[in-house]
Chain A
Amino acid sequence: MVEAEDLEERIREGVNEVSHIVVKDLTGTKDHWEALIVSEAFAGKSAIEQHQMVYAALGELMAGPVHALALKTYSPESWAKQEG
């Protein structure tokens, strides 16, 4: 289990340049999460590299406390297109 604020903080610290982030508890059990993250740091990176950056930021949280993490990662540019 982990709290939304802790997830958000770890992602902000680890990924940096996060301009928008939404963390959602999918099951109410604090171990199945979804995170939507917009960061300049994702620009020019493949989906795998973007997700690996998030996993690296969360480190040991991914080895137990977080059972599942659905990720939606965007650079500001692709997020604007998505929103537009």
Chain B
Amino acid sequence: MEDTLQERIQGIIDSNDVVLFMKGTKHFPQCGFSATVVEVLRRSGSEFQDVNVLEDPDIRQGIKEFANWPTIPQLYVRGKFVGGCDIIREMYEKGELDAVLSAKEG
């Protein structure tokens, strides 16, 4: 992956506390797994930046290499990859997600 794409992805992740790379948008998710994570974030009352990978094939491919994670959606909180749909749903069910979402920097 060339640097410019890597930097672009890093820029998106660094400029938002919570970022969800997904298929579709938070208002119109276009995949069941992406919709599940949007719903979990909504229930957690967490603001987040959505990035529609369907509109950006470079990001769609680049984000998979970036996190060494072959599927979408991908959730990042304060620059850290937190997981895909399974992990986010499991963390939410175990009540672990709120701690991650609200954890203050440093």
A binds B: yes
Within B35-82, the residues touching A (CB, 8 Å) are 68-71, 81-82
Task: Indicate the size class of the contact surface on chain B.
Answer: 10 to 19
> Is B86's CB under 8 angstroms from A51's CB?
yes
Cross-chain contact of B87 among A48, A63, A69 (Cβ < 8 A): A48
A-B contact count (CB 8 A): 30
> Is A70's CB under 8 angstroms from B86's CB?
yes
Shortest distance from the beta carbon of B62 to any chain A beta carbon, whole Å: 14
Q: List 23 interface pairs A-B (beta carbons < 8 Å), by A numbering.
A: A47-B86, A47-B87, A47-B90, A48-B81, A48-B82, A48-B83, A48-B87, A51-B69, A51-B83, A51-B84, A51-B87, A52-B68, A52-B69, A55-B68, A55-B70, A55-B71, A62-B70, A62-B71, A63-B70, A68-B33, A70-B86, A71-B86, A72-B86
Interface positions of B (Cβ within 8 A of A): 33, 68-71, 81-87, 90
Assuming A52-B68, A52-B69, what are 13 further A-B pairs, CB within 8 angstroms?
A47-B86, A47-B87, A48-B69, A48-B82, A48-B83, A48-B87, A51-B83, A51-B86, A55-B70, A55-B71, A68-B33, A70-B86, A71-B86
